[in-house]
Amino acid sequence: MSSSRDSTGVRIAVSNVANRNVGQVCSLADAPDMRLTSPASGEWTLSRVEDLHRMDDGRLVVLNRGSFELLMFGRDGELLRSIGRLGEGPGEFMDPIEIDLARGDSIVVWDWELGRLTLFGPYGSYGRSVMLQPPVINPTGRVGVLGQDGIVIGNQHVPSVGKRLTPHFLQVLRYGWRGMLVDTLVILPYGERGMVNPEESRLMAGPLFGSRGVFATQGDLLYTSDADSPEVRVYRGRQLKSIVRWEPGDLSVRKGDVEAYTAARLAGVGEDMAEILRKSFEAFPANDAFPAVMEIQIDAQGRMWIRTYDRPGSTVTEWLGFEETGAFICSLSVPRHFRLKHFHTAVVVGVHSDELDVESIEVRSFGF
């Protein structure tokens, strides 16, 4: 790793991850440390698990979007309690999309249909609900606790779309804990869209393998990437503190990648939908390069984990780990049927889907 500072004092760390050695490859345990599957009794059923977190004491809190609930499990996998139900009252949800943990493992739930945050205590007791003012017009589903400064939420700015490709943008909005908008911290590119054939319909599409900006939070720090460049920018408030960059290796899109992607998208769909997809594929050429960043996660130690783009046909998803200083730690390959949700000190938590798309929750160890 090389490290320097620019003229404003911002630290810039650069790593070459393309030429990593054996010691820089982490491995995921073959078997889970714990697996939670829906019991035959029907006491609870995992359905469209959207998010989950592991608390400091080992408990798991699961956002079960399909049942409009939070499910809380003990370290031994026993269901401790279910929280919430369908509705608009206190502690109820219409479409909960993501959760985050605040200080002391308090739980923050973002319901993007209601435009409301709901806060629960670390053991699931209802705290309060906060309506956001002004409301988020076009939320992306992403939310993050930003220490005592409040909450950040992603809003997709959608300009009027014409015949040509039009850039979209991601506004990272900061709201205070009372629900009032404080400011817009950053604006990131969020892909391009255009009309496929405006003479026939208002169908919109964009180039294959387009990049969309992403963000994450940890403590009072905000981590952002335009997704196109192999770098993450770290902010405290609006002040840029550091930049982490890396040499990612070959990201070029090949003809075989386009063919594999389109074949997978067309497989199993009806002819009407297949025709719509073909028109959208033909309207705009694929990008020349894959995105460098698909997701950012920050663990409790301040280590940064970057999810890279899965080439079409790949059976694994690759994550790149970096120390808080920007030094490269390792790469971690995860089977694609395991949707990794969060990193912790030596374990990851995620959702396993079998060949019938039946979901289970897994905690897995990883290391060098």
CB 79 within 8 A of CB 73: yes
122 pLDDT more than 80: yes
Q: What is the CA radius of gyration of the chain?
A: 21
The confidence score (pLDDT) of residue 296 equals 98
Q: What is the pLDDT of residues 258-277, one digit of tens each?
A: 999 999 999 989 998 999 89
Is there a cis peptide before residue 312, judged by omega within 30 degrees of 0?
no
DSSP state of 309: P
DSSP state of 160: P
Tokens of 260: 């594999």
Sign, CA torsion 35/37/41/45: positive
The confidence score (pLDDT) of residue 360 equals 98
Tell me the percentage of the chain whose pLDDT exceeds 70: 98
Compute the mean pLDDT over every residue in the chain, rounded to the nearest whole number: 94
Mean pLDDT score, 66-89: 97
Q: Cβ contacts of residue 359 below 8 Å, gap of 6+? A: 38, 46, 47, 48, 49, 351, 352, 353
207 pLDDT more than 80: yes
Domains, in order of start, for the chain: 1-24+141-334 (no CATH), 31-131+337-368 (2.120.10.30)
Of 302, 233, 241, the residue nearest 224 (C-alpha) = 233
The confidence score (pLDDT) of residue 1 equals 83
Mean pLDDT score, 54-74: 97
Distance CA 149, CA 67 (A): 31
Phi then psi for residue 277, to 5 deg, are -65, -40
The confidence score (pLDDT) of residue 19 equals 74
Residue whose entry in the numeric block shows the structure tokens 């408990």: 59
Q: What is the pLDDT of residues 279-337, one digit of tens each?
A: 889 988 899 999 999 999 999 899 999 999 999 999 999 999 999 999 999 999 999 99
The confidence score (pLDDT) of residue 22 equals 58
The confidence score (pLDDT) of residue 161 equals 65
203 pLDDT more than 90: no
Q: What is the pLDDT of residues 83-111, one digit of tens each?
A: 999 999 999 999 999 999 998 899 999 99
DSSP 4-69: EE-TT--EEEEEE-TT--GGGEEEE-SS-SEEEE--TT-S----SEEEEEE-TTS-EEEEEGGGTE
Distance CA 246, CA 86 (A): 45
Cross-strand bridge partners of residue 204 = 195
